[in-house]
Structure 1
Amino acid sequence: MKKLLFIVIAVFAILMVVLAAVPYLFKDEIFNKLDQELAKTVNAQVYYDRDMLSLSVFKNFPQLTAGMGEFGIKGNPPFQNDTLVHLGRMQVDLDIWSVIFDDNPSLKGLHLLDGEIYVKVLEDGMANYDIMFETEEEEVEEPTPSAFQLGIDLIEVRNLNFIYDDRSLDYIMVLSEMNLEGSGELTTDVYDLDLSGGGNIVNLSYEGIEYLTKKKMTIDSKINVDLNEMRFAAKDANLTLNEFGFGVDGFLAMPADDIEVDVRFNGDNNDFRSVLSLVPGIYSESFQDLNTSGEMDFSGMVKGVYNESSFPAFQFNLNIDDGMFQYPELPRPVQHVNMDLTVLNESGNLDYTSINLSKFSLEFGNQPFIGSFMLKDLVNYEMDAKLKGTLDLLEMTAIFPLEDMELKGRLAIDVDAAGRYDTLSGEIPKIDAEVSLSDGFIKSNAYPAPLNNINVKAMALNKTGQMKDLTVNVSSFGFELEEETITGKLLIDNLEALNYDFSIHGALDLGKIASILPLEEMVLEGRIQADIDASGSYEAIEKKRFNQLATSGELKVSDFYFADPEYPQGIRIHEASTEFGPQAIQLSSMDARFGKSPVQANGTLSNYMAYLLGEAGQELKGDLNLYSSNFNVNEWMTDSEDADADTTSLELVALPANIDFRMKVEADRITYDNLTLEDASGSMHLKDAVLRLEGFKTKTLGGSLAFDGSYTTRDILHPSFDMTLDISSLGVQEAFQSFVTVRAFAPIAQHVTGNFSTKFSFSGLLGQDMMPVLSSLDGKGLIRLAETAIRDSPLIQGITSITKLNDAATLRLKPLNISAEIVDGMLNIAPFELQLWDYPTRIQGSTGFDGRINYLVAVDVPANKFGSQINNLVSGALGTDLSNTTIPLAFNVGGSYNKPQVSLASADNLESYLANTLKNRLTNEKENVQEQIAAEFKAKEDSLKQEISEKARVARDSVEKEAEKLIESSKEKAVDEVKNLLKGFTNRKKTAEPEKSNPE
């Protein structure tokens, strides 16, 4: 018996050793197989740390546990910069007996720990989660049921962030620190998913409107999943936001493109405290200490179909009865809070949504506020609103304390409005409203003096409901700061004629105001003295009856300085004086510094009243004279204050359509990109989103430059320009260093010394970096080269390496004219003649925007220049006289300028070429050979042009896609901001290893 027991124990021990050793003996084979399967099925980059892989039998025995560390999935283009999934650890639990004995293992647990899931859907519907390779469908008579059991005992999510960014719906949802547990029979088409847990709602936005931010959430629900109908139903589900709890019953279904929904909500914990938890300013670390009382009731429903043309009907009801809250350390409560709110839409058409706040009241300390609001729909805008109350600001800060700031004053509000808003019929609600602030006082700890004697008295009155009978009268406003006062008034009467009477008088120190009312990340200094009176009507402005307008006064600015993160260079106005008249604002003088650039200016701004008060589309007109002794454009085109900074960060400037602005510019020196312009002058005209440059003249690069042109952003995806240049005696070397077009289309310029002149017109697209898109350029003109020299040119070296005629490093050229044309980003040079080593030479060909060249160079060389090479060929040829014979050498030049491919046009080597040429000379076949060479070159050139044209089209498409990406980047930026908020919102610690899937 002992022997048998010993054998059993030994066998059991051996079995345990084998079970412990098998995972480690076969781990590499297992995960190599895993890599192979992932490569076959997943169209994305899957990564994990093999050093953090684990297989264990004993951890959750009788379950086999497999774990991965630092597991993630990163998308392929266009999602190469987006990580779909990243997990600190993932664990899978399998039934060990099903692994050993069954054909298909049974999954018992799934654990996702410490990570982030980022789901992204583009505007065209393409999604980064669509990562599985498509499989060919095979016709089978009957599908074989799967034996794989996915009845998971536990689905566990710990410390997981989730971002859903749907550009097609303009919808963003960001959740953080999600901790969830669930289970369900996932292999069936219909099953129940038990789900419980919670986390944080960082942001939930739809069409640019934030609906929820910084809320804690919990969920406890059983969801019935029907995959056949894509129907998800919940019964007695419980949700909470902060402490606001509610139940949910109903379903959401997506059987096709439409979304069907039938959901009802009801309040769970019916106390006033739960509603307060949704108020960001109140729900803080001290919320637990808040004293509250009062009752709340919440209910609602959403029912119908959502698609592009319809919206579900909905109703939400919120009732608060005698609410109260007070912080223990503060003397005053907010009490007697009552509200009865219904938001209703029975039609499913959002235009027929009604809002009925039939009752609203509360008391700040002993000061009551009472009001109501009704909006019948969003079609006729029929409304009825009332609000009345008086608020002591000092008492309010006893309820809602403001850090580092003291407030005083008495705010009184009495508003009664009823009627409909319809601009076509000239109807507006009848209104009788008064708002006043008396003895206002603001003091910040950042500045010793207060903003004192703040007084505002305003009223709005309309007894008939017609626009022409509305009066808005701010009869007085003003404040005092260290014995300096600002006072003013504003009267607007009759919205149809738009009569106005406005005045403002006094002095204001902006630096003091910025200290009392801090401006985030902004520097503001300076003093403004205003004495302005204006009265008249928009009707008189529209009919140009300026004699009916009374506008006078002046505005003086001194020692002004402004800077913020977008304009770190800063704008400083030492002194500026502006006079106001009925037709225009006259800038009589301005002495300023834009960044490091000094600027003096004067001019006028006209039609400003129509622009400010009139209907959309009114033009603001301006005429400005600007002078600078040294203006650095680079400082304003980059993110750097360094004057030598490169301009790789230039950004497209969108031009406004309703501004008609002329500006004359004079500058002793302008620095733009790597160009220095001296004695610059000209004018600019901005109108209808087109900026025109007219009559610009300057000296640069040792010569003079004059140009006219235009730039437009009417089509923001295809910003375009055109330019006509008149260049005289510009240095070739300097032009190569300064102009990207010269570097691209005339790379030989880097080896040319001397000057050139040209009259050249060209046009094309601009990239989002404000630089020309070379593949889009079209243009033509005449280039005149003065006496120049070519030194160390690889092209010339390629020719001399074949002919051995001349190995001089420098080649001097006499003045010549070159006719050129650019089509689809390809520079075509018409045939031109010059002297190459005193030999008559003819050159023609093209250079593509991608740097490829294709030229035919024909040189007539006296036969006797070839010496012994030619003598050996003609020996024995009776009657041969070479004294007046020339050899026409023809070269094909391809490749790129720096790596040219030079070859003889009609032979493999020079000796055979000379022999064929002499033979043709003797048989008078010279013309036929040249015609053949020209025809072969043209065929090659036509082929290259077609290839370059297609490449240019692809390049332009790429630029357009880049523009679309940059336009889309505003949305990316919004998501990045939310991600940054997510980082600040969480303080995540590594989650402990998961427990057993079935810890019974």
Structure 2
Amino acid sequence: MKKLFKVLGIAVLVVLALLVTLPLLVESRIDGIVRREAEKRLAARLDFERLDLSLLRHFPRASVDLKGLTLVGEGEFAGDTIVAARRISVVVNLGSLLGGEGLEVTKVVLTDPSVSARKLADGRVNWAVMKPSEEVGKPVGETEAGEEPSSFRLSVRDVRIDGARVSYRDDSSGMRLRTAPLRLRLRGDLSAAQADVRLRLDAADVTFAAGGAELLRSATVGAEIEAAADFAARRFELSRNRLQVNDVEVSLDGWVALSDEGVAMDLKAAAPKASFRDVLSLVPALYARDFRDLRATGELSLSAWARGTLAGERLPAFGVSLGVSDGTLRYASLPGVIERIDLKASLTNPGGPMDATELDVERFSLALGGNDLRASLHASRPVSDLRLRAELDGRIDLGALSEAYPLGEGTRLRGLITANVRGEGRMSDIRQKRYRQMQASGVFTIENLELSLPGVPEVHIDRASAGVSPDALTLGELTARIGRSDLAARGQLTDYLGYLLGEGDLAGKLYLRSELLDLNQLLPESSQPAAAAQEPDAAPAAEAKPLEVPRDMRLSLSVAFRKVLFRQMEIADLAGTLSMRGGVLSLDGLKMGLFGGRVNASGRYATADDPLHPSLSLDLSVQQASFARTFAELETVQRLVPLFEKTGGDYSLTLRMNARLQPSMQPDLGTLDARGEIRSEHIRLGNIAALDALARVLRDEGLRQIEARDVRIRFTVADGRIATQPFDIRMGKTSINLSGVTGLDETIDYTARVTLPEGSAGGVLSTFNVHIGGTFSSPEITLGLKEAARDAVRDVVEEQVQKLTGGKDVGEVLGEAFEQQAAKLRAEAARAGEKLVEAARGQRQQLIDKAKNPLAKAAAEKGGDALVREAEKQAANLAAQAEQQIETLRRKLTAEKGE
């Protein structure tokens, strides 16, 4: 007996050893089979990180796990990840692993898969990854002569998907579907000729949109389906089936059969247990907001059917009907109630093309706060030529609505809207603007509307009305207040039907008036300049976005605004015409008071090409504007022309400019290209670092203040730098010719030709060049010492020679008079040399004073000493050249006398 147990124990150990070691022997074979079959059958790239084989987990079957699986498209969908799964588990028959007939798959489990399905506008889909084959429909196991048989035989009985994330995008129709997570289980012998199949589906956070409308938002969807499947005949009999969307539960009965001609069906759906409240759960605006607090009553009828064949573009006959009678809707937390809700609607198709589908909302009515609202809608021929007939009649008290529907915290709504409108027509008439072929009449009115939203200025509309005709909406006088701003408008809008149906541009002409328009309050905060400092715990600022000009509007706006506030600017009496077309806003002869003067402006602001970086072009003519106000109110001037802050007086300007704007609506100065001319009859400049530095170097306090008349400056702006052409400024008896460049970083590079009044600097150094560099707040002054000395020698000698010889006989010149004038010449040259050295010493001290550390001070001292040595050298040259000229003149006069 002991020997028997020993043998059995050894046998068990051997079996266990085989179960553990055998997978290691065949894993590589299975890995190769999977990759080879995928390459042979798929027009996509299938890959996985690892393949694991276990014989114990589902014994006597084997389990194959593919971890980190991805399926990536090719061709048009190259790079698109169609499927990505953390793990796919496949259970196979153990005997098929060891035999040569291929793998027999019985169970498939997908864990945390992500599926991204996409359909292009031309109809191509990214999930069509199976390579074309002529073997479709062949009995299993049948192959052509010489063809290698398939390595797979499906005998699946159980398919599971857990934690799936699914997205679907149809570019041809605009349909969108997204859900996560999704769970699915499919059970049944899928390899048998006939079997009972059970399917269970649960999906959360389902969002579905079609035709530009969001039909489901964050919905829950479930399904339990049992079907008797005849796989040979490809027919499925449905019984005891349940479909559920949010709170609506629908039963589904009938059959579906697949054939080469299409999908034949005879299906019926009903919702015997559904209530009016359940149907309201399908409305995204209601389901997403306090739905648990919603109470609804009323009789509901909901049914649907489909009978016929779905083949290509041909639909089976179908019908969906929805009815509500004597419905009420109220929220437990609110005092108001919407009552007497009555609805009768249907969607039908007799069988045939989609164009035969008709939507009929025969009646819809409700009562709110003692006011009734009635509407009807009929739509047909949705594909070939949409035909619409609609009617709206009644009043809505917005105050009563806010008491019956939760608007959100901080939201307040009041006012009365009255509508009596009806219309009928075809889409082709709208597209061709055959408005006389259509019918439209009625009027809209709004009275005493008040709207308050968190973070948005309050809106008050005293009264507004619009008369409806087929070709135009005629706006009566609209008077409104938005925050601090007021607005009055009237005019006419044409082509409004095509615009509302997405088939054309809105056109028209409006007249706008305002006493105060505060754009700083009306514009989004993200388009306002950032504060200089922000609290550490403040919320991050919203992403800046410029104002976008609609592309689907062709409007002419005639404006007359008494006062407009925009950033730091205060604009007075703005009047002119604005034209809006194709994403471009054009200014035509706009006139306004700005910067204390008058401005005429023409140009365009365009967002069509790049909504985040609009283009701006302007032609400006400015008359008698203030330098100081311009600097205070315009940030661009603060960055480009800081000199305006210290300039008194008025100016006139002509300017032509082009630039791209940043998302904050500020010009991108790197793209600014401009040219113009600025003129001023009288300007005053003082307390300017560059002038103070020049005065210190030249030892002339009069240069610290400038008063100039009849100034005329031509300038250009490019690559973020403003360049001025040479212009003259007179300061008393001193004149300066100035030209140069200012950069965005406040760097300056100017050359000044200074002409001092007669008698300055001992009669020498009256004209010299000065280079002004550094920055506007920290300028660096450099004198042209060599040029100044050379010019000084020439001028002084010529002047003294003229005094010595001018109009006199040679005999009179020589003698004591000659020596006296020669002595004066030597003295003038000496004084000029002293002035030259004094100026150099002043410049040396300026360099030392600006040094901020010992190392910089040592360098400044060294550079300053070099300047002084150069000045002393030029002073010595001045004396030597004066002496040389005296001796040359003496010899010349002596020779003339001897003759």
TM-score range, shorter chain: 0.5 to 0.7
| Alignment match, 2:589 | 586
Counterparts of 2:340 and 2:82, CA distance in 1: 50
Aligned partner of residue 76 in structure 2, secondary structure: coil
**Structure 1 position 271, deviation (Å):** 0.5
Superposition pairs of residues 588-603 of structure 1, within 5 angstroms: 588=591, 589-590=600-601, 600-601=618-619
Greater fraction helix: 2
In structure 1, what is the Cα distance between the partners aligned to 2:508 and 2:93?
Answer: 82
What does residue 363 of structure 2 align with?
Answer: 359
Alignment of 1:479-878 (within 5 A): 479-481=480-482, 484-490=485-491, 503-506=511-514, 507-514=516-523, 554=560, 558=564, 560=566, 577-580=574-577, 585-588=588-591, 589-590=600-601, 600-601=618-619, 631=658, 643=670, 668-670=716-718
Kindly indicate whether the alpha-carbon contact (under 8 Å) linking 1:117 and 1:161 is maintained by their aligned counterparts in 2.
Answer: yes
Alpha-carbon shift at residue 2 of structure 1 (Å): 4.3
Distance 2:436 2:669 in 1: 56
Given candidates 438, 448, 451, the residue that maps to 1:428 is 438
Provide the TM-score with structure 2 as the length reference: 0.55
Q: Is the 2:517–2:564 Cα contact (8 Å) retained in structure 1? A: no
Q: Which residue of 2 aligns with 1:783?
A: none
**Matched-pair contact (CA < 8 Å) for 1:576–1:591:** no
Q: Summarize deviations over 1:710-732 as a string: whole Å, max 9, x none.
A: xxxxxxxxxxxxxxxxxxxxxxx
Q: Distance in 2 between matches of 1:65 and 1:355?
A: 53
Q: CA separation of 1:333/1:19 partners in 2, compared to 1, >3 Å: closer, same or farther?
A: same
Q: 1:385 aligns with which of 382, 388, 391?
A: 391
Give SS of 1:112's match. strand
Equivalences for 1:82-93 in 2 at 5 Å?
A: 82-93=80-91
Aligned-pair CA distance for 1:159: 0.8
For residues 444-464 of structure 1, the C-alpha deviation after alignment (integer angstroms, 9 at most, x for no partner) is 3436x7333x223425477xx
| CA distance in structure 2 between the aligned counterparts of 1:596 and 1:428, rounded to whole angstroms | 39
Hey, what does 2:889 align to over in structure 1? none
Matched residues in 1 for 2:127 and 2:390: separation?
49
Change (3 A) 1:639 1:211: farther
- Residue identity opposite 2:74 in structure 1: N
Query: Are positions 1:277 and 2:281 aligned together?
Result: yes
One-letter identity of the residue aligned with 1:397? S
Deviation at 1:268, TM superposition (A): 4.8
- The superposition leaves residues 213-256 of structure 1 with CA deviations (integer Å, 9 ceiling, x where unpaired) of 43221111135667778766645532211112223345666645
Shift in Å at residue 291 of structure 1?
Answer: 2.9
The answer to whether structure 1 residue 76 and structure 2 residue 74 are counterparts is yes
Task: Deviation per CA, 1:856-903: give whole Å up to 9, x if none.
Answer: xxxxxxxxxxxxxxxxxxxxxxxxxxxxxxxxxxxxxxxxxxxxxxxx
Displacement of 1:81 in angstroms is: 1.1
Preserved CA contact (<8 Å) 2:222 2:244? yes
The answer on 1:413 being equivalent to 2:424 is: no
* Paired AA for residue 81 in structure 1: G
- Aligned pairs for 1:247-326 (under 5 A) are 247-250=251-254, 255-256=259-260, 263-284=267-288, 286-303=290-307, 310-326=314-330
Counterpart of 2:746 in structure 1 is none
Q: Does the 8 Å CA contact 1:436/1:455 hold for their aligned counterparts?
A: no
Q: What's the CA shift string for 1:686-742, capped at 9, x where partnerless?
A: xxxxxxxxxxxxxxxxxxxxxxxxxxxxxxxxxxxxxxxxxxxxxxxxxxxxxxxxx
1:328 pairs, out of 327, 332, 341, with: 332
User: SS state of the match for residue 405, structure 1?
Assistant: coil
Q: Distance in 2 between matches of 1:525 and 1:551?
A: 17
Instruction: Find the counterpart in structure 1 of residue 156 from structure 2.
Output: 152
SS at match of 2:11: helix
1:919-963 Cα offsets, whole Å, 9 max, x none, are: xxxxxxxxxxxxxxxxxxxxxxxxxxxxxxxxxxxxxxxxxxxxx
Give the letter aligned to residue 399 of structure 2: L
- CA gap of 1:511–1:419, structure 2 versus 1, over 3 A, is same
Cα distance change on mapping 1:521 and 1:297 into 2, 3 Å: farther
Q: Describe the SS at the equivalent of 1:216.
A: strand
Residue 851 of structure 2 is matched in structure 1 by: none
Distance of 1:493 and 1:16 partners within structure 2: 85
- Range with greater deviation from structure 2 (166-175 or 90-99): 166-175
Residues 659 and 668, structure 2, Cα contact 8 Å, conserved in 1: no
> 1:384 & 1:590 partners in 2: Cα distance?
46
Aligned mates of 1:495, 1:88 — CA distance in 2:
52
CA pair 263-429 structure 1, distance change in 2 beyond 3 A: farther
Q: What secondary structure sits across from 1:66 in the alignment?
A: strand
Q: Distance in 1 between matches of 2:508 and 2:562?
A: 23
**Structure 1 residue 596 displacement after superposition:** 12
Residues 426 and 185 of structure 1, relative CA distance in 2, 3 Å threshold: same
Name the aligned partner's letter for residue 480 of structure 1: R
Q: Aligned partners of 1:508, 1:103: CA distance in 2, in Å? A: 83
Please give the secondary structure, in 2, of the residue aligned with 1:78.
helix
Residue type at the aligned position of 1:455:
D
> In the alignment, is residue 111 of structure 1 matched against residue 109 of structure 2?
yes
d(CA) in 2 for partners of 1:644, 1:585: 24
TM-score by length of 1: 0.50
Per chain length, whose mean CA-contact separation is higher, i.e. which structure has more relative contact order (CA < 8 Å, sep 6+)?
A: 1
User: What's the offset of the Cα at 1:376?
Assistant: 6.5
Q: CA deviation at 1:295?
A: 3.3
Match of 1:747 in 2: none
Which residue number corresponds to residue 46 of structure 2?
Answer: 46
Structure 2 CA distance for partners of 1:171 and 1:227, relative to 1, 3 Å: farther
Aligned mates of 1:224, 1:642 — CA distance in 2: 73
8 Å Cα contact 1:203-1:214 kept in structure 2:
yes
The alpha-carbon deviation at position 287 of structure 1 amounts to: 2.7
Q: How far is 1:358 from its partner?
A: 2.7
Distance 1:485 1:159, change over 3 A: same
Measured in 2, the distance between the counterparts of 1:521 and 1:580 equals: 31
For 1:45, give the aligned amino acid.
R
Q: What letter matches 1:360 in structure 2?
A: F
Query: 1:125 and 1:245 mapped to 2: Cα distance?
Result: 33
Distance change in 2, residues 1:457/1:234 (3 Å):
same
Q: In structure 2, what is the Cα distance between the partners aligned to 1:125 and 1:361?
A: 41
Counterpart for residue 188 of structure 2: 184
C-alpha separation in 1, matches of 2:323 and 2:526: 37
Verify: 1:400 aligned to 2:423, yes or no: no
Match of 2:450 in 1: 441
Q: Which structure's CA Rg is the greater one?
A: 2
Residue aligning to 2:31: 31
User: Does the CA-based 8 Å contact 1:411-1:435 persist in structure 2?
Assistant: no
Tell me: CA distance 1:580–1:24, structure 2 relative to 1, closer, same or farther (3 Å). Answer: closer
Unaligned runs of 5+ in 2: 136-141, 498-505, 529-541, 549-553, 580-585, 592-599, 606-612, 622-652, 673-713, 726-899
Query: Could you say what secondary structure the match of 2:326 adopts?
Result: strand
Three-state SS of the structure 1 residue aligned to 2:284 is coil
Post-superposition offset of 1:558? 4.8
Deviation at 1:82, TM superposition (A): 0.7
Distance change (3 Å), C-alpha of 1:342 and 1:500: same
- CA 1:153–1:36 in structure 2 vs 1: closer, same or farther (change >3 Å)? closer
**Residue in 1 aligned with 2:690?**
none
Q: Once the 2 structures are TM-superposed, how far is the Cα of residue 112 of structure 1 from its aligned partner?
A: 0.3
Q: Distance in 2 between matches of 1:230 and 1:268?
A: 30
**Contact 2:215 / 2:283 at 8 angstroms: preserved in 1?**
no
The answer to whether the aligner puts 1:455 opposite 2:465 as a matched pair is: no
Q: Indicate if the aligned counterparts of 1:456 and 1:474 stay in contact, CA closer than 8 A.
A: no
Distance 2:151 2:345 in 1: 54
Q: Secondary structure in 1 aligned to 2:285?
A: coil
For residues 622-655 of structure 1, the C-alpha deviation after alignment (integer angstroms, 9 at most, x for no partner) is xxxx98677556979x99969499xxxxxxxxxx
Gaps of 5+ in 1: 527-537, 542-549, 563-571, 604-625, 646-665, 680-1000
Maintained 8 Å contact 1:631/1:669: no
**How many positions carry a matched residue from both structures?**
591
